[in-house]
Structure 1
Amino acid sequence: MRARALFLLLLAAPLALAEEIGEVSTVFKWFGPNDRIVVEAFDDPKVEGVTCYLSRAKTGGVSGGLGLAEDRAEASIACRQVGEIRLKGELKDGEEVFKERTSLVFKTMQVVRFLDKKRNTLVYLVYSDRIIEGSPQNAVTAIPIRAW
């Protein structure tokens, strides 16, 4: 019963999928892939006309290659208007628009969206969390909602 409820919950709240734009190597590893910084793009699933670009560290080596390493918490984000902005439903402050696992079990990187109604601006925040202890490191970007 719990598995069914979890499955239905996942279907009800689709998140954006990232497309890798490019990467640079930062540390050479003798075995396994190098440590690197990746740049990914994703479209906001509820706001047509907005694309976000996320850069973040990916740990290499044998453990990184096997998906067992924990990636660093640092990330940078830049969201841009790439077309006419159209809202696809009601926006909730702090709504998660992107989430990716950054360790085997306990750590994720996520992007949440806020609507600053007073300034007619969309605000996106990227941060990393862990079940027991998250990180205060974060980055923010904002897009004024204007006619295209």
Structure 2
Amino acid sequence: MRLAKALLVLLALPAVGMAREVGEVDTVFKWLGPNHKIAVEAFDDPKVDGVTCYLSRAKTGGIKGGLGLAEDRAEASIACRQVGPIRMDKNLKDGEVVFKERTSLVFKTMQVVRFFDEARNTLVYLVYSDRVIEGSPQNAVTAIPILPWVQP
């Protein structure tokens, strides 16, 4: 009974950042359930105005994927861009999670963390996947030099 309650609490936790789907492509046809696909999502850094990140990642289809029981692959790609004047909180923490999403029913997540390279006046974003027992070393990184915003 305790395990069931703990699982419900974990499933009810909101994502740190909310992503909006930009588009997707099918990669493998499945007879039953949705196809395997690559999804492209966008999210804004919640503590840095003027930054949007684009994330591409695999989503598992089939019956398990359709029911939300499948485990998605650990691979992801990220590109963050300055989309307006950058205004950031003075109390940013290196390694702070700006986006997090479950990629399996309970034990695996994909997350994006932010670092500030003060010497180069650059924001650095890292995407990686972790698991309670064993994570994956696969990752991707992107960087945004903080520049004055000029309206196009």
Shared fold, TM over 0.5: yes
Kept after mapping to 2: 8 A contact 1:42/1:52 = yes
SS in 2 for 1:118: helix
Matched, 1:76 2:71: no
Shift of the alpha carbon at 1:16? Answer: 1.6
Name the amino acid aligned to 1:21.
V
Q: Report the counterpart of residue 3 of structure 2 in structure 1.
A: none
Partner of 1:40: 41
Unpaired stretches in structure 2, ≥5 consecutive residues: 1-5
Q: Counterparts of 2:90 and 2:147 in 1: how far apart (Å)?
A: 18
Show structure 1 runs of 5+ residues with no match: none
Task: Report the equivalent of 2:87.
Answer: 86
Paired residues, number: 139
Aligned to 1:106: 107
Moved over 3 A (4+): none
Q: CA deviation at 1:88?
A: 3.1
Over the aligned positions, Cα root-mean-square deviation in angstroms equals 1.7
- Structure-1-length-normalised TM-score: 0.90
Q: Percent identity?
A: 80
Deviates more, 1:45-54 or 1:81-90: 81-90
Q: SS at 1:70's partner residue?
A: coil
Read off the aligned partner of 1:18 and give its amino acid letter. Answer: A
User: 1:121: Cα distance to partner?
Assistant: 0.1
The within-5 A match list for 1:1-148 is 15-148=16-149
Deviation, 1:15, is: 2.3
Question: How many angstroms does 1:90 deviate by?
Answer: 1.1
